[in-house]
Amino acid sequence: VNLVQIGAFDSGLCTQAQVAVHSGPRHHSLGVGKAAEQQTANMPADLNGYWKMISNDNFEEYLKALEVNIAIRKIATLLKPDKDIVHDGDHIIIKTLSTFKNYNMDFYVGKEFEEDLSGVDDRKCMTTISWEGDKLVCVQKGEIGGRGWTHWVDGDELHLELRAAGAVCKQVFKKT
């Protein structure tokens, strides 16, 4: 059942993307047209849920690129953090949870903000996060060039590609 079928469009609960999809003639709770269904299928991914890490490739090289000290790198590479994501329209909260440190990101898609990475590598950067198709892409401008990440969903898996100074780490999480 999509949002139009349950009347969310009529009650103002749609995101901007959903409103754009359904800005044509008013749809009724039954008989949503094929074109509208195809457009709805192309909306950004739903990241909501609790995700457990199942793989973490090249993480130490990524941490080296961030100039994280060796002691913290060794601890961090032993961890298998979980992701707890609340995705409500353009507002997203991503909690990265581990037994060592937790990191929370609370942001609005498309709005640049100053990100305090004191829990990661003790830097601040200007961060912008946007949708590119069904992928959530983050660009972090600061001391480390080419820094950012990309999240996307494939079935019941959440993929995360972390980038910094040419190093790329690939992480995969399974929805619980």
Q: 106-159: per-residue pLDDT in tens?
A: 999 999 999 999 878 889 999 999 999 999 999 999 999 999 999 999 999 999
Q: What share of the chain is helix, strand, coil (3-state, %, to 5)?
A: 15, 40, 40
- In this structure, what token pair is assigned to residue 133? 């198709």
- Does the structure show a pLDDT above 90 at 77? yes
The predicted structure's pLDDT at residue 9? 32
Lowest mean pLDDT among 32-36, 57-61, 97-101: 32-36
Query: Which architecture does CATH list for 49-175?
Result: Beta Barrel (2.40)
- Does the structure show a pLDDT above 50 at 48? yes
